[in-house]
Structure 1
Amino acid sequence: MAKIMYFLTVFFIILHVPGIFTEQENPDACPIRKFNPLGQTCQKACTRNQECGLKRRCLCDGDCGLSCVTTTRSCPWPVNIANAKTGLVKGTRNFGDQMSVLCHPGFKMASGQETALSRCQGDRKWSVITPCDAVLDPVKSCDVPHTIENGFLMENGSTFSVGTSVHYQCNLGYALEGHKVTQCMENTTWSQPAPTCRQIFCPPPPEVKHAYLLAIQKSEYAVFEEINYLCDRNLDMDGSHNVTCEANGNWSAIPICRTRCKIPAQRSRVVYKGSKRWVHEIPGTVHHLEAVTFFCLNQTCSYPATSQCFDGILSLPSCYEEPTWIQYNFFPKNIVSEITPCTEL
């Protein structure tokens, strides 16, 4: 009878005194303690109740793993979380109890959830809850605008939100037909269709008086195509002989063939091309825009007066007086062009 009573007593102790012979119901289900758990201060680590003292038990405390915790300690209440409503799941806030967090309408957690549970930890703090942030409407955008042949978009990018405008431009030598600007509208379509780029041509070049054209005769010429003009004999070209079809569909400056000039003086010396000589010593005529210097009288000395040839006209300076035949033939040293210059007096 005594033996039976002994075994019953031992069995009763095993069942009713926690942690004397048994550990946690399922210690393998508790995570291994992390070195620095987020938002939690870990209590003393343990493997069984005997390591914790009389008032604490060896229980699983989340990321802290098996820890010595006081089960009668409670977490603070109420808890205010921005943009959310909180509540106690079982009406109590002791270790292991849970608090529900429900985001207000229009708010969600970073994970996309609207609800979550927070646990009362051994350090008397609620486990970390992701804040509830405002749900932003997704940015509406249009598809990438159509590309155009022989042209390009001036804006780069892969996303074009509502309200964004883009600009088209044609390559050099092409003209834009259609709308240069289009905008992404609220319905995520573009306000205008993509334009086209038409190749630019120049018309046949104009005829130049007293000149002939060195080019293949065509009805139209492409941009940057070149032609050449040549003036008739004894005429000077005013401008470039080379003419180019420009990007605006017009030809560059067209040259003009200018007439050369005869020197209107006969019995005097002049300065031409840096040399002082008698008029009859100058062969041919004076080229367009070339200058000839004559000499005028200032009482007893001479001073220069220059005139320029322009398209066949070389005017005598108003101060110039043509020597008479007698002066020229019998008194050549007294001709104005031969007397002492005023600058030497």
Structure 2
Amino acid sequence: MSRCSSLSLLPLLLVLSLFFTEGSGQTRARNLTDPKCPPRNKNFAGTTGHICQKSCERRRCARSRNCLCDGHCGLSCISAGLSCPWPVKIQNAETQLAQESNMFGDFMKVVCKPGFRMADGEDRAMSRCQGDGNWSFTAPCTDVLDLSYFCTPPPKIENGFHEDGLFTIGKEVRYWCDYGYRLEGASSLFCQENKEWSHPAPTCHSVNCSRPPNVAQATLVAVHQSEYPVGTVIYYLCKKDFYLDGSNRVVCLENGSWSQLPYCRARCHITAQRSRVVYHGRKLWINEIPDGLVHHGEIVRFFCRSQNKTCSFQAESRCFDGVLPLPDCYDEPTYLQYHFFPKRVVSEMPSC
């Protein structure tokens, strides 16, 4: 090739170089910001025989590699055009590509033959082409009737139960307690290679609540025991003239404590004496309200003088557990105003 021909190819090579460089940059940027990629966990990946490639979370990859998500290895530098071996033979199983290729990130279906299962008791799995050029799953399927692969059934427990399934080597079995019981001991057992379970079976112990606490100005209904099982319902009744704040129904919970206790709130005395107030939408003298008392949570509106003392406006106050504060703007009328100049009493002045 002549020197002129070589020079004429330079622009084309430059354009192609920019194209592929730009494409790699887009791939790198897209994967670096991919929130679905799990954080790098080499130890976990190692337990499955996965060899992690160079991380690209903080460093750029060589030109021959792309920054891609490689399962539990996280973002890794993967060789361009990486593929996994195909076809693949797995003992007692049939394999089939889930798509038309066996490139990095592609999947292979693994289905056990009739009468065989995987270590976790399943009869099928999806195997992924990893960054190290190996499939993620190639373990053989075992004969469900071959006792050399099984532990004896895990122990049954009183007031509890464990999950069912095939108790093959490596299988995890979880335990639960019945309602009202608490698990003590290991909640999971593993079938070990020696066909023994990894821990003794847990036990289930009943959960009880102690005698419910007293609530001020309240009475417990028919409570005579020192302990109560989970789910027990007890009731509180407030004494006369006290308002029940909360539910009167309290339940013994699974953690051994009682649900939210109520309060018995006291009524409030209206301390104003020589002025009318607005109560339940009516303008009343204090002696027109029975005993001068209002219930917890109720609102009373008092009358206050304007700054030029020519008119009145209302200021509200809410009763809370026996306390009804007077508004800062309220002034109690004097004895003389109340008896000799009633029109000067603030509650009797025209509204502003």
TM-score by length of 2: 0.54
Q: Give how far 1:151 is off.
A: 2.3
**Cα deviation per residue 1:211-242 (whole Å; 9 max; x = unaligned)?**
32211401211111122222232222332222
Q: Name the structure 1 match of 2:241.
A: 234
Which structure 2 residues correspond to residues 274-313 of structure 1 after superposition, within 5 A? 274-284=281-291, 285-298=293-306, 299=308, 300-313=310-323
Change (3 A) 1:317 1:136: closer
Q: Name the structure 2 match of 1:252.
A: 259
**Cα deviation per residue 1:4-46 (whole Å; 9 max; x = unaligned)?**
xxxxxxxxxxxxxxxxxxxxxxxxxxxxxxxxxxxxxxxxxxx
Change (3 A) 1:137 1:326: closer
Q: Name the structure 1 match of 2:197.
A: 190
C-alpha RMSD of the superposition: 2.5
Amino acid at match of 1:195: P
Say which SS state the counterpart of residue 161 (structure 1) adopts.
coil
Q: Give how far 1:330 is off.
A: 3.1
**Cα deviation per residue 1:77-127 (whole Å; 9 max; x = unaligned)?**
xxxxxx9xxxxxxxxxxxxxxxxxxxxxxxxxxxxxxxxxxxxxxxxxxxx
| Structure 2: unaligned runs, 5 residues or longer | 1-88, 90-137, 144-148
Cα separation, 1, equivalents of 2:161 and 2:349: 73
Identity %: 52
Q: Which of 329, 334, 339 lines up with 1:329 in the alignment?
A: 339
Q: Which of 174, 197, 200 lines up with 2:181 in the alignment?
A: 174
Q: Give how far 1:293 is off.
A: 1.1
Amino acid at match of 2:258: W
Q: Give how far 1:137 is off.
A: 7.7
Say which SS state the counterpart of residue 337 (structure 1) adopts.
helix
Cα separation, 1, equivalents of 2:140 and 2:218: 74
**Runs of 4 or more above 6 Å deviation:** none
- 2:155 pairs with 1:146: yes
**Cα deviation per residue 1:234-289 (whole Å; 9 max; x = unaligned)?**
22233222222112111122223322111010111112122221111101311122
Q: Give how far 1:312 is off.
A: 1.5
Find the structure with the greater CA-based Rg: 1
| Structure 1: unaligned runs, 5 residues or longer | 1-82, 84-133
Q: Give how far 1:316 is off.
A: 0.4
Cα separation, 2, equivalents of 1:302 and 1:144: 84
TM-score by length of 1: 0.55
Cα separation, 1, equivalents of 2:280 and 2:156: 61
Cα separation, 2, equivalents of 1:260 and 1:163: 66
Cα separation, 1, equivalents of 2:298 and 2:233: 29
Change (3 A) 1:208 1:270: same
Amino acid at match of 1:321: D
Which structure 2 residues correspond to residues 30-179 of structure 1 after superposition, within 5 A? 138=142, 140-153=149-162, 155-157=163-165, 159-179=166-186
Say which SS state the counterpart of residue 212 (structure 2) adopts.
coil
Q: Which of 216, 225, 230 lines up with 1:209 in the alignment?
A: 216
Change (3 A) 1:136 1:218: closer
Q: Name the structure 1 match of 2:53.
A: none
